[in-house]
Structure formats: C-alpha cells, structure tokens
Structure 1
Amino acid sequence: MRASSGGWNQADMLHCTLCGNLAQPFAQLDVRDFFRCGTCQLTFADPATLPDPETEKAHYDHHDNTPGDAGYRRFLSQLADPLCERLKPGDCGLDFGCGPGPALAQMLNERGFACRTYDPIYDPDPAPLDQQYDFVTCTEVVEHLHRPEREWQQFARLLKPGGWLGIMTHWLVDDNAFAHWYYHRDPTHVCFWQPDTFAWLARKQGWHITLVDNPVVLMQKAPDTDR
C-alpha cells in the first residue's frame, strides 16, 4: 500500500473510469497499481493492466454456478429476496451479466417475475438491450467492468421510470485491509465499490438508494413525474 499522498503529483494520476475525474494512486500490489477517485470514491486497477477478453473468459469458465446449486441459490437470495419485496405482480426484468448458468433469472421466473438474460460472453444476443424493464439485476458483475461509466448509462436506459436496479458486489469498506482482501486477487476484478460510490451515483442520477447489506445494493430510478 502507498503510505501517504505526499509524493503524488499530476503525472501519477489517471482519469476515473466511472466519473472521468482525476484519480490518485491508492495501492501497488503484486503486478497491479490501483487508483482512487476523489470524486466518486471508486477504486480501480490501472487500465493498462486490464485482462483481455480471452483471459477473462478462461477465468470465468472455471466458475461452477449452476441454477440447481442450492448453495448458489442461497447466495443469490441475498439480492432476490429484498428485490422481490419491492416488485409488483407482473413486473418484468433483465439479468445483466447472467453468466453461463442464469440461476438468478430462473429464481425470479419461479417467483412470477419474467426475466430475460444478457451476457456479453455467454449470452451476447443484444436484442434484450433494446427495451426497458421494471428491474435489472447485476450480480457479481460491476467489479469486472472496464468502463463502468458506459454500463451505468446503459442501466439508466434499460430501466423504466421507477424501476429497480439490483447490484451484488462486495463493498470496499476498510482501506487498511485492502492489501489482504481476497477480492482484488481475482485478476478479472478491476473496480471496487464503496457505499459512498453508490451514494454519489444516486445523487448524480436522482435515484433512491437502499444499502441492504454488504454485498447488496438496490437503486430505484426516479419515477416519471410527467405522468
């Protein structure tokens, strides 16, 4: 970890991949440098060290998250339960970044909420991205985003006014423990989110935020007041 900001200068800084403002060096661990944005508080890996698509897929292919796995379903219930409490009968959604085994979409379908799927690697048909939904789920995805600003703009387009965005990612809550945190050891994890980051996004977009519990965040798009 870098001990202080005393030696930082403009040449050390990068533009934040979420908000575009300048970010300062935060940590240097193993072969990666990490930066922290002073505006949105996102922590992210140096974009020069991001994995290529082939490396990402090879890593993801080792995951064994199948819809029939009871333990995985319990894990996803951390998001599914509080989200379903806020949905209305007949609401339809999209599981963004569903992976090779769309367990969450199946769970939501079983509860009566029709859920389509999209994944840039495993389910790349872009057709589901051309409509709006009452809810969008994004589980274990946002930590992988190389250009999170792009995806957040996409989430805003995908959601109907008043719709819910459900996110599952482990929050960074202790800077002093970052060096020993398992989450950054995954080479495909390239950005790390704090409650302050989600709060910044909510303020910027005029959305309501509910921090359910680490690792679950629910964000509600502002309703259409013209209706």
Structure 2
Amino acid sequence: MPTSSIPAPSDTPQPRASRIQRRNRKRILDAALEVFSQHGYRGATLDQIATEAGLSKPNILYYFAGKEDIHVTLLNDLMDTWLAPMRQIDPQGDPMNEILRYVQRKLEMSREFPRESRLFANEILQGAPRMGPHLQTGLKPLVDDTAALIETWIAQGRLARVDPRHLIFSIWATTQHYADFGAQVQVLMDGGDGLDGASAFLDTLYRRLLTP
C-alpha cells in the first residue's frame, strides 16, 4: 500500500506553464479522474489514463512522475472544492436555513461532481493512504468548528437536540449516495438520478429533525 501523503504546498516559485502545457495537464487530469472514479486507485493504470487522454504514456510521464502523482494532484484539487460548502456555513445566519442550504449544496455536488465524489470515496475505502494527514489538518478542524457551532445553536434553543457529528455524517451519507451509488440509483429510479426528488425529501427530513 502506498505510504506517501498529500504534500504541503511549496514556497518555491514555479515556472509558469505554457498554454499547451496547461491544456495537456488538464487533459491528463480529466482522463485520470474518469479512470480512477471507475476503477479505483489500485485498478487504474497509466496505460488506461493515456488511452482516455489520447496521449502517449511517455507524454503522461513528462507531466507527472507516475500514477500516484496524478492521484495526489486530483485529491489536492478536490479537497478545496469538497470543503467549500461547509466553510460557507454562516455563524450569523439562521441555523435551520444554514443547515438546509448545506444539505442542498452537497446534493448539488453529487450532480455536478459525481466522479470526484467516487474518487474521494475510493480513497477513504482504501484507508486514506494518500490523504490521511489532510483529513487531520484540513477536514477535522473544520468539522470540529462546525460541530461546535451546531452545538451552540442547539444550546440557544434554535435547533433540536441532535449529535452534531452524526448530523454531519448523515448529511454526507444522504447526499453523496446519489453520486457514489449512481449506477444503483439509476436502476432503482428507472433511469433517473433521483436528485430532483431527493432535494424535497431531504429538506423535509432535516427540517423535521432539526425543528425545536
């Protein structure tokens, strides 16, 4: 099992990439996202990524040191996107509206970023070998702060008594399910993604749960 983790950003200025280099890196990352989301890290190969990108394997290795380098780059890019909705919860806002807005944004992300969601899920299922430290330094402090905020709202009588962390886990489970288990959802929903119905259902579910 790989033991490397997502590195801290370097303070050393990097040469600015040319337009063609930026285009090719994006092409490789888009292809890798497709391959990793389908096959997971262990099942993915550089040959598959090269074929998906329409580039040669040596061309891939010109831009990235190998499969793990590509995977770590994707995870780095993903974390900022993934944590943004929680960072946008406003402590000064109405608690119910802030929680429900977070639920809806997470559901929108299942529609907008299904491959990214599966990439994240696959990494976690493997024990987070490449992003474990980032969970400690990025995700955990944010969840701790959000849980403390929810606990404050509960103490003020503005939300019903719930365990804040289990509430957060529940929101992740009920929203990311539509991306991570998309193939199953499509079968059970007769070809639909279920997201339109999920929006109203989850709004009602969490509104009833959280109303004091």
- In which range does the TM-score fall when normalised by the shorter chain? under 0.3
Structure 1 or 2: larger helix share? 2
Higher relative CO (Cα under 8 Å, sequence separation at least 6) belongs to 2
Structure possessing the higher radius of gyration over alpha carbons: 2
* Length-normalised TM-score, structure 2: 0.26
Structure 1 or 2: larger strand share? 1
